Amino acid sequence: MTTTALVGYARTSTADQKAGLEAQLRDLEQAGCTKVFREEISSVATNRPQLAAMLEWVREGDTLVVTKLDRLARSVVDLVSITAALKTKGAGLRILAMNLDTATPTGKLMLNLLGSIAEFERELMLERQREGIAKARAEGKYAGRQPTARAKADDVMRLRGEGKSVADIVAALAISRASVFRILADRPSAES
């Protein structure tokens, strides 16, 4: 039989928030967490090592417990990503301040609503973006995507024909080595 655990995650934005971290740790202990991951890092940090360690450590049947939603996720999209990782591992989520527990039907519903709202917001943003591009095109102001390295293929071939090395071409045209090699492979020179 698999044993399950209540796994806590506590986070503060700075080391100056010791009281906040201590309060979270106290609440997680009172909730029955047997393992707690903690870190002092901003939620906007792209790398939260203890969050990653917790997501790696959690097992099927475990429940992640956090005191408040903002201690776990920086956005609804971030929340959806974290809960998807938990779901893949067969673990649940409990947010104490919201009395939300994904082990209950109501908790699952609330989480699905949050995910739906995030998806709706994304669709609205994409729609506004498409409308803005269409308006800019109609006004002749939309230049489109900037040319890629392939737009410099003739220059690559010319410089290579002048005997320049790949490193010289990269420096002269400000494109990557991979792009230079790709262009040279696609358009073999007369010397081959």
Work out the end-to-end distance of the chain between its first and last CA atoms, rounded to an integer number of angstroms. 67
For residues 157 and 142, the answer to whether their CB atoms sit within 8 Å is no
13 in active site = yes
Catalytic hit among 13, 116, 189, 192: 13
The two three-digit tokens of residue 47, written as one number: 């790398």
The two three-digit tokens of residue 123, written as one number: 């669709």
- DSSP labels for 137-150? HHTT----SPP-GG
Count the neighbouring beta carbons within 10 Å of the beta carbon of residue 20: 17
Nearest alpha carbon to residue 133 among 123, 121, 145? 145
Q: How far apart are CA 62 and CA 158, in angstroms?
A: 62
In DSSP terms, 35 is beta-bridged to 7
Residues with catalytic roles: 13
